Amino acid sequence: MKRFFLFGALLFSLVVMATSHPTVAQEKKNEHKVSIEEVNQFHDLLHPIWHEQYPKKEWAKIRSQAGDLVARKDAVMKVRLRVKAENRAMVEEKRQQFGASVDAVAAAAKSGNDEALGKAVAEMHERFEQFADALK
């Protein structure tokens, strides 16, 4: 009886801990949140591509989102960035590199070459992280 009670208390504690803390995936998703909504919207699309579809090599699914990636990238490229004057040139350079990497994904998606698409997605993710980090 005592073991049953201890087991029940342990199980209850684990359930409470698991439901009261954000998951690692949610923490990662919020890792690149910035004050620019267009950047956050791009990240909302990129996150499942990078963390779910890319590891599973779901190339067709990634290809089907190329147009959305470009549209959200275009919105990021148009938005006015409010950064310190001394950081403006560096941030703009990161933004241009990010934009070019999204265009490379779109081109690779049209090519039909899975290896090229995989490399382009990895590059896009890296360039996005560099850009988002520069905004902080």
pLDDT of residue 26: 46
∠ CA(133), CA(55), CA(66), 5° rounding?
70
The answer to whether domain 23-135 has CATH 1.20.120 is yes
pTM for this predicted structure: 0.77
**Residue showing tokens 């520069």:** 134
42: exposed, middle or buried (Cβ count in 10 Å: 0-12, 13-18, 19+): buried
The whole-number mean pLDDT for each consecutive block of 10 residues of the chain, a chain of 136 residues, reads 54 50 47 85 98 98 98 97 93 98 98 97 98 93
Contact yes or no for 61/53 (Cβ under 8 A): yes
Q: Which two tokens stand for residue 91?
A: 């941030």
Domain boundaries, the chain: 23-135
